[in-house]
Amino acid sequence: MPEIVNVTVRVKPGSKKGPLVQTALDGSLLVYVREPAQEGKANRAVTKLLTEYYDVSAGGVQLISGNKSKTKHFKILKQ
């Protein structure tokens, strides 16, 4: 049975540290990506990074809210 996990992600676009995922003290994820926050480039990079981090398929990561915000909420569908 698939498991659904809701994740709060704080994104740092245009970062020289990226790609990197860290766990913050509040339990959210801090994600550094090199891509700029333009035309959805950073969102696509974060989605790809989360698929690798959670070892799920590309369809297993869905942006729920925060499309134009640095704080985003994702739904992860784990098999």
The pLDDT score that the predictor gives to residue 75 is 97
* Spatial separation of the C-alpha atoms in residues 69 and 10, rounded to whole Å: 9
Q: Which domain holds residue 38?
A: 3-78
The pLDDT score that the predictor gives to residue 1 is 77
Total domains in the fold of the chain: 1
Q: Is 23 within 8 Å of 9 (Cβ atoms)?
A: no
CATH of the domain at 55: 3.30.1200.10
**What are the structure tokens assigned to 59, written together?**
């369809």
The stretch 29-42 carries a mean pLDDT of 96
Residue 43 pLDDT greater than 90, yes or no:
yes
The pLDDT score that the predictor gives to residue 79 is 80
